[in-house]
Structure 1
Amino acid sequence: MRRTVRLLTGTALAVATAGAIAAPAYGGDTGGLEVFPYTVVPGGDVTVNTAACGDGGTATGDASAVGAGHFTLAPTTHEGEAIGRFRVPPSAQQGTYEIDVTCAESEEGVTGDLVVTLSSERAPVHPRGSVKTGVGGALGTDPVQTAAGVAALAVAAAGGTWLLHRRARGDGI
């Protein structure tokens, strides 16, 4: 029993340690570049932020690898980070691109990856309009023609009912 407990405790400790080592550090990471969203479709907006430039630090970003050119990062009040935005051009090809940022004061640089994909995980688009089946729609949407069609159906239904009533009474047609 003791041996099993030691084995399970050792395994749990090893998994927890490996998870802590392999987990990405976002909150306290002062030397990295965060790219959000990490995966984007062509034409999408991307936000880039870093704390590598220090409090009040500005930076210049380079997204020319994906075809977006240069952009600026301005300081924010959130934990001394600098933030910038750019738009991925609609002509961007699928792949992984490196985004570079250089701090203005220290000339220190950080990089991050951006993945461009051609499939979108956006909300589904619902179809609009009529279905071309070849049935119906001959009269169009004109209210006068619609009223005439309804009147013709009403007359046909009334006439059919009258004829069935006469036949049931034995009067013949």
Structure 2
Amino acid sequence: MRRTACLLTGTALVGAAASLVAAAPAHGADGASAAGGLRVYPSSVVPGEIASVNTAACGEDDTATGDASAVGAGQFVLAPSTHEGEAIGQFTVPPSAQPGTYEMVVTCAESGRRITGDLIVTLTHARGQVHPRGSVKTGVGGALGSDPVQTAAGVAALAVAAAGGTWLLHRRARGDGI
């Protein structure tokens, strides 16, 4: 029985490791895929900023159409550039964009090839952190109010109830009845 459990556990671990390797993205440090995919600069933006999209996957002289509607920016055009045969385009992330990761899609005009990349929208720039301020309205608490007299009365009522319950349990344990 123990040998079977070890065998099944080992098989499950090997399967989990294989699925993690297969699911790992083929992205380098700059966000580009190994086969000349889509690069988004900067990869992390704040709503209202401009993002640039570059790809060499369409070819030297091919134009492309980008789709940033996932983030709410709509379509944009990528034009050939002198930078390593890449097509480059830009769009503005709308001020109403919510934080999250959005997929950008570029379609090459001549070949019809689709290339995708990710854009991360955050509320702050990477160089500074914003800490929350103020109170949180959760709807919990405040049942007795903020009046100290009412709070003292509530505590006294709880103390009397606890003392009475202890006294009743003590009488029952002695056999005196209730």
- Please indicate the TM-score interval, normalised by the length of the shorter structure: 0.5 to 0.7
Residues in 1 aligned to 2:32 and 2:107: alpha-carbon distance in whole angstroms: 20
5 Å matches for 1:1-173?
23-24=28-29, 29-121=34-126
Amino acid at match of 1:49: N
Check the 8 A contact 1:31/1:110 in 2, yes or no.
no
SS at match of 1:48: strand
Check the 8 A contact 1:33/1:50 in 2, yes or no.
yes
Instruction: Report the TM-score when normalising by structure 1.
Output: 0.54
Residues in 1 aligned to 2:29 and 2:72: alpha-carbon distance in whole angstroms: 28
Q: Give how far 1:26 is off.
A: 7.4
Question: CA RMSD, aligned part only?
Answer: 2.6
Runs of 4+ in 1 over 6 A off after TM superposition: 25-28
Check the 8 A contact 1:56/1:80 in 2, yes or no.
yes
Amino acid at match of 1:43: G
Larger radius of gyration: 1
In structure 2, runs of 5+ residues without a counterpart are 1-25, 130-178
Q: Give how far 1:78 is off.
A: 1.5
In structure 1, runs of 5+ residues without a counterpart are 1-20, 125-173
Q: Give how far 1:77 is off.
A: 1.3
Instruction: Report the TM-score when normalising by structure 2.
Output: 0.53
SS at match of 2:82: coil
Give the % identical residues: 62
